[in-house]
Amino acid sequence: MFRKQLFHCKIANMRRLDTIDRNILRELQHDGRITNVELARRVGISAPPCLRRVRSLEEAGYIKGYRALLDEKALGCEVTAFAMVHLTSQAEADLEAFEAFVRREPLVRECWMLSGEIDFVLKCVAPNLARFQAFVTDLTAAPHVRNVKTSLTLRNSKDAPMVPVELLRAVPA
């Protein structure tokens, strides 16, 4: 069951992307700390219009923010696991209560509502197995949770937390 909020978009506020915009987005995804001068050089325009375009992309909502990607293993978080959660109800109030619970949990790094057999999948990062097991105990007891299945990761074969800008096609203005 999809919620009404999923269908609301800010399309009216979004401007159309041309090749330069897509190149700017691609470059910023690869290096969010790039200088405006270097970004302008890479996308083939001068610095002032490049800066205007970046600000316009931010204002339109194409760029949500900037952050550092941290190495969880280097920081002592040895466990990455997924929890598949099945709820007892998909009533809007119950979904919101579960989502509020998840937002308060620091081990949950991503939460996705799904269609099909599983209601939510959670990506969790923990310093050790004991801390993850304690979280699963709390998760199982959370409001409206019917059952939880977990899978520990063995390795990550691909980590590309980016939008495939190269697959977007230009939309004429």
Q: What is the pTM of this model?
A: 0.80
Strand partners, 111: 122
Domain ranges of the chain: 4-68, 79-152
Residue with the two structure tokens 């081990």: 107
Residue-level pLDDT at 43: 98
Cβ atoms of residues 44 and 32 within 8 Å: no
Residue-level pLDDT at 160: 86
| CA pair distance 68, 53, nearest whole angstrom | 22
**One digit per residue, pLDDT tens: the chain, 173 residues?**
444 433 333 443 456 899 999 999 999 999 999 999 999 999 999 999 999 999 999 999 999 999 998 999 999 999 999 999 999 999 999 999 999 999 999 999 999 999 999 999 999 999 999 999 999 999 999 989 999 999 999 999 998 888 888 888 755 44
Residue-level pLDDT at 31: 94
State how far Cα 90 lies from the chain centre: 23
Residue with the two structure tokens 């009533």: 91
Give the closest residue to 124 by CA, choosing from 87, 68, 159, 79: 79
* CATH class label, 4-68: mainly alpha
Residue-level pLDDT at 173: 46
CA–CA–CA angle 150, 139, 122 (5° rounding): 50
Q: Exposed, middle or buried, 40 (CB in 10 Å: 0-12/13-18/19+)?
A: buried
CATH number belonging to domain 79-152: 3.30.70.920
Contacts of 53 (CB under 8 A, 6+ apart): 20, 21, 24, 45
Residue-level pLDDT at 14: 53
